[in-house]
Amino acid sequence: MLDRVSSLSSRERIVESTEDNAPCHKCNTEMQIKRRKCRNGEWTAIFRCPKRGCRTTRSARADSRFFHFTDLNQRCNKRECEAGSEIHSDEWAAYGCLTSRGFVHKTVNHQISYVDANTGAHTQNIERSWLDAKIKLLNKMRGVPLHHLQSYLDHYYWRLYRQDRSNLFLTMLEDILNNVNESQ
């Protein structure tokens, strides 16, 4: 479906399709690429449903994963999780690879309930953690640049898991010392 990626500006890559654009998830009408002005004054491209009354919009950035999830070289969770780990997720099709890669994969159908009655699997913990991180990064810090996002998330979760410590500076020095000793 995605045949070429072009660049409208040096900061933003826009996904274009030589075939039909993706259908709207609400009314199944073909979405069209439109341009919209952002808060920072720059123009961005979006997909917009032309049907009156629907007007669904989607990001058209190449890194937004709007069209599909591709796992090149089977990197899905190999660095983040040990083999045999138990992973709870919703029933998104891209997560179907987890069982074949050696993980115990339990799913929850959120249309039925938020906790699976048979397995007890739920996703509330990670969803709440992401909500707290998004509130911190988006609302309190007014957003962060994409190239700094990982370091801000690392800092946020480091503070979160050490919030019961009385002196975070000494804790940071201990963590640095332990990290240096492990690498030698």
Q: Which has the higher per-residue pLDDT, 27 or 36?
A: 27
| Integer Cα distance of 160 and 129 in angstroms | 10
Nearest to 31 by CA among 6, 59, 8, 7: 59
Which range, 11-15, 65-69, 112-116, 179-183, is most confident? 112-116
Complete domains list, the chain, with CATH: 15-70 (2.20.25)
pTM summary value: 0.45
pLDDT digits (tens, 9 = 90+) for 73-106: 455 556 667 778 888 888 877 777 788 878 888 8
pLDDT digits (tens, 9 = 90+) for 131-170: 888 888 887 777 788 888 888 888 888 888 888 788 888 8
